Chain A
Amino acid sequence: MNPGASSIIELTGVSKYFGPFKALDDINLSVMTGERVVVCGPSGSGKSTMIRCINRLEEHDEGRIVVDGIELGEDTQNIRAVRQDVGMVFQQFNLFPHLTVLENLTIGPIRVRKMDKARAEALARQYLDRVHIPEQADKYPAQLSGGQQQRVAIARSLCMEPRIMLFDEPTSALDPEMINEVLDVMVELAGTGMTMVVVTHEMGFARKVADRMVFMEAGRMVEVAPPAKFFSSPDSDRARLFLDQILEH
């Protein structure tokens, strides 16, 4: 990594509890501008919890999280400022079912960014092009396939022109034949220099795109390594075991 680059996401000593259960345990992670980090690990290891702390869908209990120069805390102004700069794509798409595709894309720019409608629609169409579904603008989400819905969700995030994109297992709810159309869009996005943090078990994608791999287990970051090293000779046994299991399929 370029040592001169500044970190855009900074997690320092972050812990998070659900009741007595410690879901995140002393997480330290610093993501550089333009960097692509892929997070993997077994189910329940805290991947979602960590990524959701970055836009404060979950509140951390200990440590500091600074995103794009803004520290996340109780201040709702700060939280919203961060959220406008951080796009998030969910496993279950979470499109707004009562709005058309175009409205799904424009509601953020219009209501949050206070953009006028014509400009927001132009922007939305531009991003629908980017995710290769310009012809679906007037449909409702339920009328689209899973892969198309997830691409709309990506476009919806991009319409806010974020500096960071978070992905939480964006392809695991998809039928196998639709996974690639979504991954392709993500690879293209990586090509634009977007900072990305991606939770996924798609190791082909990780190899192609990741600057760094993060392996989590039981709420801890067990291993952080460049993909070449991570896939060929991980330091921890846990990571090796995990990779063996996942690459078997």
Chain B
Amino acid sequence: MSAGGQMAGTGGRRAQPRPQWRRHLGRVIASRPASVLIYFAVMFAIIATALKGAEAMGYNWQWYRIPRYFYDVTEGGIVLGEIPWGLVGTIALSATAFLLATVIGLIVALLRLSDLIVGRWVAQGFLEIVRNSPLLVLLYVFYYVFGPIFGLDRYSASVLCLAVFHGALISEIFRAGINAVAKGQWEAADAIGMTRWQVYRYIVLPQSVRFMLPPMTGEVVNMIKSSAIVSVIAVAELTTIGRNIISDTYMSFEIWFTIAAVYMVVTLIISTGATLLERRYTVRD
């Protein structure tokens, strides 16, 4: 907006300067309180439309029944409801799969960057297969094909599937981060006689963390979101819990709104934390 204001000022010979009140209006709309107001107005309009639609189809809202899925007060004290337990399931599943995905990603990235021709082929083949399969199909393969063959239960099949899928994405992050380290660093480390592994461990990987941190936190968020897919094979986590509650209560609108909000709160917390962490890292430089 300020750029527009300047242009109007300097290019005054060709274009008539915009009237004072319009420039003013532009500045007001761009200001933070106005942005927040506009945001809420738009959200309100969307929700109002949805509510109106729901009303038109005669939907029976029962929001008052939702809190008890979060917590229940009994004589023994407060007990957690199904939704927090589902969230715990989602976080445990995502965390396990993410750790495994990081290991897979590192191995695949190192193979791709290695001198071993076979290693590069294996890594490349793995990437092509995973990148070109829909996550849902991959999950079915792990559960219905690898499951019986290797004796995987629902949970292990889900963890492995998510780990493999995100491992492929993470390997690209690692590869880009490793390649971002200057070539002279490799040469200096080689020149003092370090092994390939020592060069990675002490010189290259510590320097590539800085490049990898932002996309990695993005991957954490993606992992949490894509973990919802395991609900199709009924692994206990947030989305599955949502489906179960709905099949008992038919409150699909309230529950899906709630579940979506829970995912959003969690991923927003992670993104905010990541932004703070990144800021810490850039300051050190």
Instruction: Give me the interface of A with B, judged by CB distance under 8 Å.
Output: 55, 57, 80-81, 83-84, 86-88, 90, 92, 94-98, 107-108, 111-112, 153, 156-157, 160
Interface of B, secondary structure class, is: helix
CA distance A86 to B203 in the complex (A): 20
Q: Is the CB of A160 within 8 A of B193?
A: yes
Known contacts A97-B207, A98-B207, A111-B202; A83 and B185 CB within 8 A of each other: no
CA distance A108 to B206 in the complex (A): 16
Q: Is the CB of B198 within 8 A of A95?
A: no
Q: Is the CB of A96 within 8 A of B203?
A: yes
Known contacts A98-B206, A111-B198; A160 and B185 CB within 8 A of each other: no
CA distance A80 to B191 in the complex (A): 8
Chain A residue at minimum C-beta to C-beta distance from B285? A142
With both chains docked as a complex, state the minimum distance between the C-beta of B210 and any C-beta of chain A, in angstroms: 9
Chain B residue at minimum C-beta to C-beta distance from A80? B193
B190 at the interface (CB under 8 A from A): yes
Q: Is the CB of A92 within 8 A of B184?
A: yes
Q: Which of B192, B202, B203 contacts A160 (CB 8 A)?
A: B192
Known contacts A107-B202, A111-B202, A112-B198; A94 and B192 CB within 8 A of each other: no
B99 at the interface (CB under 8 A from A): no
Chain B interfacial residues counted at CB < 8 A = 17
Q: Which of B184, B194, B206 contacts A112 (CB 8 A)?
A: B194
Chain A residue at minimum C-beta to C-beta distance from B183? A94
* B window 11-66: CB within 8 A of A: none
B188 at the interface (CB under 8 A from A): yes
Pull 22 A–B residue pairs with CB atoms less than 8 Å apart, ordered by A. A57-B187, A57-B190, A81-B193, A83-B193, A84-B192, A84-B193, A87-B191, A88-B187, A88-B188, A94-B184, A94-B188, A96-B189, A96-B203, A97-B207, A107-B192, A107-B202, A108-B193, A112-B192, A156-B192, A157-B191, A160-B192, A160-B193
Q: Which residues of B contact A108 (CB under 8 A)?
A: 192-194
Chain A residue at minimum C-beta to C-beta distance from B195? A80
CA distance A80 to B198 in the complex (A): 12
Q: Is the CB of B188 within 8 A of A95?
A: yes
Q: Which residues of B contact A80 (CB under 8 A)?
A: 193, 195
Q: Which residues of A contact B206 (CB under 8 A)?
A: 98
With both chains docked as a complex, state the minimum distance between the C-beta of A24 and any C-beta of chain B, in angstroms: 18
Chain B residue at minimum C-beta to C-beta distance from A113? B193
Q: Which residues of A contact B198 (CB under 8 A)?
A: 111-112
Known contacts A94-B185, A111-B198, A111-B202; A83 and B192 CB within 8 A of each other: yes
Known contacts A98-B206, A112-B198; A157 and B192 CB within 8 A of each other: yes
Known A94-B185, A108-B192; further 8 A-B contacts with Cβ < 8 A:
A57-B187, A80-B195, A88-B187, A90-B184, A94-B187, A96-B207, A98-B206, A107-B192
With both chains docked as a complex, state the minimum distance between the C-beta of B185 and any C-beta of chain A, in angstroms: 6
Instruction: Give me the interface of B with A, judged by CB distance under 8 Å.
Output: 182, 184-185, 187-195, 198, 202-203, 206-207
Q: Which residues of B contact A160 (CB under 8 A)?
A: 192-193
Interface of A, secondary structure class, is: mixed
CA distance A169 to B202 in the complex (A): 27
Known contacts A94-B184, A107-B202, A112-B198; A83 and B191 CB within 8 A of each other: yes
Q: Is the CB of B191 within 8 A of A57?
A: yes
Residue among B187, B191, B195 with the highest chain A CB neighbour number at 10 A: B191
Chain A residue at minimum C-beta to C-beta distance from B192? A108
Q: Which residues of A contact B193 (CB under 8 A)?
A: 80-81, 83-84, 108, 112, 160
Known contacts A94-B185, A98-B206; A111 and B190 CB within 8 A of each other: no
Q: Which residues of B contact A111 (CB under 8 A)?
A: 194, 198, 202
Q: Which residues of A contact B184 (CB under 8 A)?
A: 90, 92, 94
CA distance A23 to B285 in the complex (A): 38
Q: Which residues of B contact A87 (CB under 8 A)?
A: 191-192
CA distance A103 to B192 in the complex (A): 14
Residue among A80, A94, A160 with the highest chain B CB neighbour number at 10 A: A94
Q: Which residues of A contact B195 (CB under 8 A)?
A: 80
Q: Which residues of B contact A92 (CB under 8 A)?
A: 184
Q: Which residues of B contact A112 (CB under 8 A)?
A: 192-194, 198
With both chains docked as a complex, state the minimum distance between the C-beta of A199 and any C-beta of chain B, in angstroms: 15
Q: Which of A57, A84, A96 contacts B185 (CB 8 A)?
A: A96
CA distance A81 to B195 in the complex (A): 11
Residue among B182, B187, B207 with the highest chain A CB neighbour number at 10 A: B187
Chain B residue at minimum C-beta to C-beta distance from A108? B192
With both chains docked as a complex, state the minimum distance between the C-beta of B166 and any C-beta of chain A, in angstroms: 27
Q: Is the CB of A83 within 8 A of B190?
A: yes
Chain A residue at minimum C-beta to C-beta distance from B206? A98
CA distance A96 to B191 in the complex (A): 13
CA distance A153 to B68 in the complex (A): 66
With both chains docked as a complex, state the minimum distance between the C-beta of A84 and any C-beta of chain B, in angstroms: 4
The 9 closest A-B pairs by CB, nearest first: A94-B188, A94-B184, A83-B193, A108-B192, A84-B193, A88-B191, A112-B193, A80-B193, A98-B206
